[in-house]
Structure 1
Amino acid sequence: MAENIIMPKLGMAMVEGTVIAWKKREGEAVKKGEGIVDISSEKIEMEVEAATDGVLLKIEVPEGGVVPYGTVLGVIGQPGEQVGTASAAVSVNATAESAAALAVADEQRTKAGEPAATTATAVLDRPREGIKISPVARKMAEEAGIDYTRLTGTGPQGRITKEDVERVIQAGGQKALNEVAQDAGAQKSAAPVAEGSGRAVSTVSEKQPERIPVSGMRKVIAERMHQSLLQSAQLTITMQADITELLQLKEKLSSEMERRYQLKLSVTDWIARAVVLSLLRHKQMNSAYVGDRIELYEEVHLGIAVALEKGLVVPVIRQAEHKTLAELSSELKSVSARAKQNQLAPEEMKGSTFTITNLGSYGVDTFTPVLNPPEAGILGVGAAKDTPVFVGDELKRRTLLPLSLTFDHRVLDGAPAAAFLATVRSYLEEPHSLLV
């Protein structure tokens, strides 16, 4: 009996998901538990596994399709088995959703002014199976009587887009396409020869840029960051913290922490503890601008930015003010590891009241982090460097850590923001206070 591949619901807030890539083609054999399609929703990407042995009878939603959860993405069954009417009925909705999503993507590319070919491009007749074409482009081509199998697409991986079909229509439709194909055939059979030489003149074709659809995690990040800059008054200030003593204390405690908690404290752990204690003393920074009011939070839900191969996620440590340095370190390592393995639930990436982002491992000194809306503050951490510093009249070698604080000027002014950052620096320069 045929088995439907369903778009799963990844969290309570999920409305729709995106098909990123099919790992099998129609007619190919699949085994139970084998990854068959990659999907994404907001900040989560996952692989959907086959629920049974068989072959992939039908792909209902193409790559790039955006459909509601519960939609049938494809069907697995036995060779020659007929696909049931139930899955076919759902697939109509899935295809319609995908067509709408692709139409919006095509329109956005046009508005963005992306370069496109100025003339129609034709190729020899090809079988319709395996041709990558958006549903909107296919419908336009069929209505205009254009044989889209003779088009060369300018979309991702050679996908034929709405613009490709529109250019052919504007150039004269199928008649113009035939003429282009005839000209191409004539040029191929008789290569031009330069005067006074027996060598053929080579023609150089301009390479089209790779076009990558913005979807899934990348789309969510793009929308949130753009919204953040549009809807807040962001300002960044910087300081340096002398963490020489912190590094010495960290080294002294390393063996005890490993023996007692099986933990190896990182500098980020100490910074997180310093930020939490500072937020308790500066509640204006532990806040958000919501509607026409400022919300001050009693609890500290600390967000930690984690870089992934395809984007960025911010897992949240809830009620961080109740956690010791060791407990905070343990939870930070847990959520970071699960984030990199794509094992976080959507609920674990929501509700933060302040965020830390660290680019020190990349050698970055100072930078301007963008607020994670609707939070009022985000702390950027750079690379610590050994620097000659005057301590009294003596020149000593000290390790300085750059800190960049971006805050929402609608919530608080520069002076209280600077006071918060100074408190963070004070905790880092007096590391014993972080053990209390």
Structure 2
Amino acid sequence: MPVEVIMPKLGMAMKEGTVSQWNKTEGEAVKKGDPIASISSEKIEMEIESPADGNVLKINVPEGKGVPPGTVICYIGNPDEEVAATAAQVQEEKGEEEIKAAHPAPLPKKPGKARVKISPVARKMAEAAGIKPEDIKGTGPGGRITKEDVEQAIASKKESRKQDSLIQAPAGKEPKHTPVSGMRKVIAERMHASLQSAAQLTITMKADVTELLALKTQVKETIAKRYDSKLTITDFIARAAILALENHPEMNSAFMDNTIVTYPEIHLGIATAVEKGLIVPVIRNAESKSLIDLAKEIKEKTAAARSGKLPADEMQGSTFTISSLGASGVEFFTPILNPPEAGILGVGVVSDEAVFIGDKIEKRSRLPLSLTFDHRVLDGAPAAAFLQTVKQYLEEPVTMLL
């Protein structure tokens, strides 16, 4: 009996999964444990392995199509086994027949008096090329469209398509066209929807983290011996953002259904780059965690995210997000809100700068901060006050330990 391969449920909130890519084709032999397809949900992508030895008898879900969890996406079995139609397929076919019966195809319209003069051979060529005779200029007697006219129209159409595809390609080479699917498609849709649905504004500021880096070095050995861990600048930034959110709860909000929803707990999202895109592990109830506990959880969840082992429900429900491009050498940038959150903090690269301290010039380490916020939830002044508080904690790092 054929074995069903179903779309798994990647987290409690998952409503639909998409087959990003099939690694096997119908009829191809597989062994138990072989990766047969890649699937993706809103925030995660993973491989589906064959549950048994055999052949791929039938693929039910094509690449790029989303289906609910529990849907049979293919069958594995012996080559001589037959696959019965699933109840969903039967219902779908029945539904299509009912639609056709209820809406019969309209009768063809009678041709009007005005007719295009075209030879039968030319008409057949135009139809095969998908060109309307009305769009072709005839050069024959009385404006009649000839075979040569159609050939010229086809050549013009091909040249037009070629020119459209050549976007300043070097040395006459055509650009590569990659269909957007899986996680990349989800990210594209979410980022576009974010910009379309929120009044986003970005403000910037620099924090002097000279003392912070000194403190980090000072406690390095103690943290390693006592907690078998280490603190990164990201850990301190996360702690500073959490404390600032407690002081400015309006930033820990969302705009939904013409209502500003302010959350009592802080669920901090840490944007993490993975091989095929970007995902956001969530540190729940971050306000209740010490700096050490926060650092450990950030490391564990980002590592699990990069290895593809983080459960989908641990990438949902954040109330504020931090995104860093410091490792890429970026200073200021414009982070895009993670809907429906009201704020996201962008972190750049630390650089040494000459700064006036009183009348003297000193070398100081400065950290660029970019805050994007939803102007529907709060205005520039309270957003600036929040960013100023983050800056203050980073410049007085001992206060984060008290």
TM-score range, shorter chain: 0.7 to 0.9
With over 3 angstroms needed to count, the CA separation of the structure-2 counterparts of 1:31 and 1:213, relative to structure 1, is same
Structure 2's unaligned 5+ residue stretches are 95-123, 134-146, 155-170
1:186-218 residue CA offsets vs partner (Å, 9 max, x unmatched): xxxxxxxxxxxxxxxxxxx97654433333322
Deviation at residue 12 of structure 1 after TM alignment? 2.4
Match of 1:296 in 2: 262
Deviation at residue 91 of structure 1 after TM alignment? 5.5
Q: Distance in 2 between matches of 1:222 and 1:265?
A: 33
1:161-180 residue CA offsets vs partner (Å, 9 max, x unmatched): xxxxx9734379xxx9xx99
Secondary structure of the structure 2 residue equivalent to 1:361: helix
Aligned partners of 1:71 and 1:94 also within 8 Å: no
Considering only aligned residues, what root-mean-square deviation do their CA atoms show, in Å? 2.9
Match of 1:15 in 2: 15
Match of 1:45 in 2: 45
Deviating 4+ runs (over 6 angstroms): 92-96
TM-score w.r.t. structure 2 length?
0.78
Match of 1:64 in 2: 64
Match for residue 281 of structure 2 among 301, 310, 315? 315
> Does 2:235 align with 1:236?
no
Secondary structure of the structure 1 residue equivalent to 2:243: helix
Match of 2:36 in 1: 36
Q: Distance in 1 between matches of 2:289 and 2:128?
A: 62
Match of 2:325 in 1: 359
> Does 2:218 align with 1:252?
yes
Match for residue 428 of structure 1 among 387, 394, 400? 394
TM-score w.r.t. structure 1 length?
0.72
Look up the equivalent residue of 1:318 and give its one-letter code. R
Aligned partners of 1:52 and 1:76 also within 8 Å: yes
Match for residue 170 of structure 1 among 106, 116, 131? 131
Structure 1's unaligned 5+ residue stretches are 97-144, 147-165, 184-204
Secondary structure of the structure 2 residue equivalent to 1:366: coil
Aligned partners of 2:31 and 2:53 also within 8 Å: yes
Q: Does 1 or 2 have the higher relative contact order (CA < 8 Å, sep 6+)?
A: 2
Q: Distance in 1 between matches of 2:306 and 2:54?
A: 32
Q: Distance in 1 between matches of 2:93 and 2:279?
A: 30
Look up the equivalent residue of 1:64 and give its one-letter code. G
> Does 2:83 align with 1:84?
yes
With over 3 angstroms needed to count, the CA separation of the structure-2 counterparts of 1:20 and 1:93, relative to structure 1, is farther
Aligned partners of 1:72 and 1:90 also within 8 Å: no
Match of 1:73 in 2: 73
Q: Distance in 2 between matches of 1:347 and 1:211?
A: 33
Alignment of 1:320-331 (within 5 A): 320-331=286-297
Aligned partners of 2:36 and 2:50 also within 8 Å: yes
Look up the equivalent residue of 1:273 and give its one-letter code. R
Aligned length: 341
Q: Distance in 2 between matches of 1:373 and 1:425?
A: 25
Q: Distance in 1 between matches of 2:211 and 2:288?
A: 25
Match of 2:181 in 1: 215
Look up the equivalent residue of 2:258 and give its one-letter code. D
Deviation at residue 65 of structure 1 after TM alignment? 3.0
Alignment of 1:104-143 (within 5 A): none
